[in-house]
Chains A and B, each alone.
Chain A
Amino acid sequence: MTDIQNILRERAHALLDEGKIACFIGWGATRFNERAMPKFIFKAEESSSLVYNEHCLNTLAKYTLDFQYGAEKVGLATRGCEARAINRLIADGRLSRDKVYLLGIPCQGMLEHGKPADKCVFCRHRNPVVYDELLGEKTIELQNPPRFESVLELENKSDTERYDFWQKQFAKCIRCYACRNVCPACNCLECYTEQYRTGWQGKQANTLENSVFGFTRAYHIGDRCIECGECERICPMEIPLMKVNRKLVKDVEELFGVEESGLSEDEIHALGSYNKEDLEEFM
């Protein structure tokens, strides 16, 4: 990892120095040893403050949106999750590929509270699926991590048990919208939750509408979730959001045959396309 950190600093320095990018987004140190945080480098000489270690939990891709209309490119430290998030943003029409320069990083998985991070143990793409240059050798991918295990567990419960489970979970929600803010698929210019008097969901936090929010968000990203796990990681109330996201990922896979999202920038959205041959079993 120190190797990658060194190359990362070197390359960020060079790219900024050559004027190829206006900013580089990577990670920087915090006052805690076991935490790293997003770091924005604007000057070549600041590159030495970039870090890359097993504590780089944040998926950085969404920050590129701040630069989408700039004249210059932005550089990005790009692991599997960032790469798929970049594809997500491009496929959703929010970013153009020529606005980003991707330094690909083969990832070994991160640590959270001293253990392999939840978001990393089910990862199927440790190597970036898109990059401009790859720093280091490709790493070996995890073979079929059991990502739907927790979904199956929920599926085996009765309707009432499931309902009670989610009502209990969403009762905790404080509607801080951190999950939405961090999610690369939640990239709307103006989220429906910010709209006043839509008629279907108010802005105040209350138990019933909390689950409306939670599930609506899940449906909004249902066929576009890249399984980066950022929502669950960021949730201050520890709501197991990936359980519902993975349920939808699994359903989309079973019903539409679309296995994973964010693997290419011109992917077809399973729920957002019109095809005359689509099954209409419910009709």
Chain B
Amino acid sequence: MARAGVFICHCGSNIASVIDVEQVAKSAEQMTGVVYAATNKYACSISGQEMMKQAIIDHQLDRLVIASCTPRMHETTFRKMLGKTSVNPYMLEVANIREQCSWVHTDKEKATAKAIDLVRMSLAKVLKNQPLFTSSIPVCKKCLVIGGGIAGIQAALDIADGGYEVTLVEREPSLGGKMVMLDKTFPTLDCSACISTPKMAEVGAHPRIKLMSSCEVSAVSGYIGNFEVTIKQNPRYVDHDICTGCGLCEEKCPTKLKSSFDQGLGQRKAIYKLFPQAVPAKPVIDAQHCTKLTKDKCGVCAKVCPLGCINFADQESYTTDTFGAIILATGYQLIDWGSHYPEYGGGAYADVISGLQFERLVNASGPTEGKIKRPSDGAQPKSVAIIKCVGSRDVAKAHGYCSRACCMYAAKHAHQTIEKIAGAQVYIFYIDVRTPGKAYEEFYDRTREDGAVYIRGRVSKIYEENGKLICKGEDTLIGKQVTVEVDLVVLETAMEPAANSGQTAALAGVSADKDGWLTEAHPKLRPVETQSAGVFLCGTAQGPKDIPDTVAQASAAAAKVLGLLAKDELETSPMISAVDTSKCSGCRFCEQVCPVKAISMIDIPSIYNGQKVKRTVAQVNSGLCSGCGACSAACRTGCIDLLGFTNKQILEEVDALWQ
């Protein structure tokens, strides 16, 4: 005979002000299976828990119904409490009489009656509960970091410094991401490369970090603590094991191309290092443009290489490794503004450039050695227009979201222009100026004091006239059309998720929002976790942000990973699907509907028509199953049940409503 205890929480006045909790307790006491019912001011408090623990002893309770707030709030608290008693933690049902009753009703009488119904339903369910037990899975003490920008670098260093092995996968031939392209960082104006290249070098030299450049993740299987990851090594055509990075090949290569690192403003060779401080500091061949690979002509690099590192027959290769955790730090790219803004010339005017191009122009190691020159004629611009929110906050043309960093780097660009070009006139077109960061507002103030002219309004058209660029827009503060004539226009363009970041995340079971930013498990309380256990995210892959936020988030993700890898074994939730193999037909419906690929098929010995046969049935991977119940709903035979939410329990719960 079941001995259920029912506890009704007042939640201060949250529940008790609308629901007559004593009445609910009195009614509960009359219900079949209940041996004790009581109320409590705060069931979740230490004293509340002690009171329930004592009641379990005094009344020999074997299961509990706690009528309180939503189970999402305190179910874990109560389970932990039961863990210290004779009652199995899963012999508990939480009736939500706060969010789904007291908070949404005002009629006390009806709310009380509803609370009694809710308690009766939970009681009906708990009477069918079975004790469940957690199991444990071993943890592979290695982390995979996808993306070698500042987020991935920081996370990898933190984890490796914490004592665990890290593999860092980067698609480009070098670490660094976007940060290393920047000139100065706001608001302190310290040199971006100077503060990021030491970290890159540290990654390259770290004994516990395996750096895999020119690599991509091609498949992920497994589950938290035990991910099997296949990594594709794209051909580099240079044997990095032998190459010393002497640079002779790069010097002699006759093919000159636009440098993607310099945003098309500078040049590089067909065999190249991404930039001088690249890590690894060894070149790769651009297969699309190398004349040896495309036309079988040249081969100079192979001739000059003193060590014979060049291998034109290099092929892509695959390696598989096991990891306990994965960090997604896939970063961002800038919007292809030309296709969205034909009114800005759509890319036809050489002197309308993006913010990142400006970073390269103003960068001492950039194509102009830090001199701001117009791309069209190399002349020094005397007037510059900076246009913010190009692609951001513009639902009609591109994205609705704010790219967060542009207000600050626009101010920085204005400051740098005024600083480098004496007497330069800078106009900044803006919608709002958002400077929520330490010393950000002060930086913006300083830029205005420097003489930058802020004009509130979007630019509606840019065209060329007499060698000048004309920006037409409206100053919405005075309600008048403005036209400015400038030598150079800098568009502070929107951040977008990096190409293929969604596909890479999907491999690890992580979804993206409507704009493609990867989705965190909870926007406030679980900002670096994802819905896929053991997979974390950080940096701009999750949404636009600046460097300080990116680094902070990377360290946060690393802390989460360190917490995970510090465990030898992980407890898995026992509220997962279970297959009654005696009924399973092996139709694979459950396998197909499972969003986390937790179901696979297995052959089991069986008797069919008097024959001994091997029959195919479904099996659930307890490490992967998230307990969503999709399989249980899909199974026609009803041979899959979700433990803790069995069909029987739910039907009893529903039936109780009619009693």
Contact = CB atoms under 8 A, between A and B. Distances in A.
Interface of A: 66, 69, 92-94, 187-192, 195, 198-200, 220, 268-269, 272-274, 276
21 contacts: A69-B608, A92-B587, A93-B586, A93-B616, A94-B587, A187-B585, A188-B587, A189-B585, A190-B583, A190-B637, A191-B637, A192-B638, A195-B583, A199-B647, A199-B648, A268-B592, A272-B593, A273-B593, A274-B593, A274-B630, A276-B511
B651 interface: yes
Interface string B635-654: 01111000000011001100
B588 interface: yes
Interface in B547-564: none
A274 B594 contact: yes
Interface string B584-605: 1111110011110000010000
B506 interface: yes
Nearest to A268: B592
B125 to A, nearest CB: 13
Contact of B585 (A94, A268, A273): A94
Contacts of B637: 188-192
A220 B506 CA distance: 30
Nearest to B595: A274
Contacts of A195: 583, 638
Interface in B603-659: 608-609, 611, 613, 616, 630, 634, 636-639, 647-648, 651-652, 655
B595 A199 contact: no
Contacts of B506: 276
Contacts of A192: 636-638
Contacts of B587: 92-94, 187-188
Nearest to A92: B587
B512 to A, nearest CB: 9
Nearest to B608: A69
Interface of B: 506, 511, 582-589, 592-595, 601, 608-609, 611, 613, 616, 630, 634, 636-639, 647-648, 651-652, 655
Contacts of A272: 589, 592-593, 634
Given A69-B608, A69-B611, A269 B584 contact: no
A53 to B, nearest CB: 31
A188 B593 contact: no
A281 B611 CA distance: 48
Given A93-B587, A189-B583, A198-B638, A274 B592 contact: yes
Contacts of B511: 276
A76 B475 CA distance: 81
A90 B586 CA distance: 11
Nearest to A94: B585
Nearest to B639: A190
Nearest to A69: B613
A146 B564 CA distance: 61
A8 to B, nearest CB: 27
B390 to A, nearest CB: 29
B651 A189 contact: no
Give the top 7 A-B pairs by smallest Cβ distance, nearest first: A199-B651, A69-B613, A272-B589, A189-B585, A93-B586, A92-B587, A190-B583
Nearest to B651: A199
Contacts of B601: 93
B651 A200 contact: yes
Per DSSP, chain A at the interface is loop
Contacts of B613: 69
Contacts of B594: 274
B592 A273 contact: yes
A192 B655 CA distance: 20
Contacts of B616: 93
Nearest to B652: A199
Indicate the member of B595, B637, B655 with the most A CB atoms within 10 Å: B637
Contacts of B583: 188-190, 195
B424 to A, nearest CB: 50
Nearest to A191: B637
B608 A94 contact: no
A198 B647 contact: yes
Contact of B609 (A66, A92, A220, A274): A66
A196 B587 CA distance: 22
Contacts of A66: 609
Contacts of B647: 198-200
A165 B387 CA distance: 67
Contacts of A199: 647-648, 651-652, 655
Contacts of A268: 592
A66 B609 CA distance: 8
Nearest to B580: A190
Contacts of A220: 636
A188 B595 CA distance: 23
Contacts of A273: 592-593
Contacts of B592: 268-269, 272-274
A273 B593 CA distance: 5
B593 A92 contact: no
B651 A92 contact: no
A35 B271 CA distance: 80
B121 to A, nearest CB: 15
Indicate the member of A192, A200, A220, A272 with the most B CB atoms within 10 Å: A272
Given A200-B651, A274-B594, A93 B585 contact: yes
A191 B636 CA distance: 8
A87 to B, nearest CB: 14
A67 to B, nearest CB: 10
Contacts of B595: 274
Given A93-B616, A189-B584, A200-B647, 12 more contacts: A69-B613, A93-B587, A187-B585, A187-B587, A188-B587, A190-B582, A192-B636, A192-B637, A192-B638, A268-B592, A273-B592, A274-B595
B585 to A, nearest CB: 4
Nearest to A186: B636
A261 to B, nearest CB: 14
B636 A269 contact: no
B222 to A, nearest CB: 19
Contacts of B588: 92-93
Contacts of A187: 585, 587
A276 B502 CA distance: 12
Nearest to A189: B585
B602 to A, nearest CB: 12
B220 to A, nearest CB: 16
A191 to B, nearest CB: 7
B399 to A, nearest CB: 20
B655 to A, nearest CB: 8
Contacts of B651: 199-200
Contacts of B593: 272-274
B255 to A, nearest CB: 42
